[in-house]
């Protein structure tokens, strides 16, 4: 992960919970992304337009469409 800009969630939403291979779990469980959570935008994507990698102690990544990204995140001030 390069020194990317940080983005903060401004509108809560959920994404499908994935297994270790990045596939949605069969149970249909979702993971909430809460207001205030911070992510780096990665240059690498796998399935969607935007890959976000979590900031902090727990490694979390998610991929969302460009539309979802614009609606739910804003760039953090430096």
pLDDT digits (tens, 9 = 90+) for 10-63: 999 998 888 777 777 888 888 899 999 999 998 887 776 898 999 877 678 888
Q: For residues 15 and 68, give the distance between their C-alpha atoms in angstroms, rounded to a whole number.
A: 11
Q: What is the pLDDT of residue 1?
A: 43
49: left (phi over 0), alpha (psi -120 to 50) or beta: alpha
Task: Tell me the C-alpha distance between 53 and 28, whole Å.
Answer: 22
CB within 8 Å of 63: residues ≥ 6 apart: 45, 46, 47, 48, 49, 50, 51, 52
Read off the pLDDT band of 75 (50, 70, 90): very high
* pLDDT interval class at 3 (50, 70, 90): low
Model pTM score: 0.80
Q: What residues does each domain of the chain span?
A: 6-75
Does the structure show a pLDDT above 70 at 2? no
């Amino acid at each position: 992960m390069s020194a990317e800009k940080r983005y903060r969630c401004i509108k809560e939403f959920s994404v499908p919970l994935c297994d270790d291979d990045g596939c949605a779990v069969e149970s249909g469980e979702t993971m909430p992304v809460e207001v205030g959570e911070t992510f780096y935008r990665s240059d690498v994507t796998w399935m969607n337009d935007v890959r976000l990698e979590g900031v902090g102690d727990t490694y979390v990544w998610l991929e969302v469409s460009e539309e979802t990204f614009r609606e739910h995140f804003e760039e953090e001030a430096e």
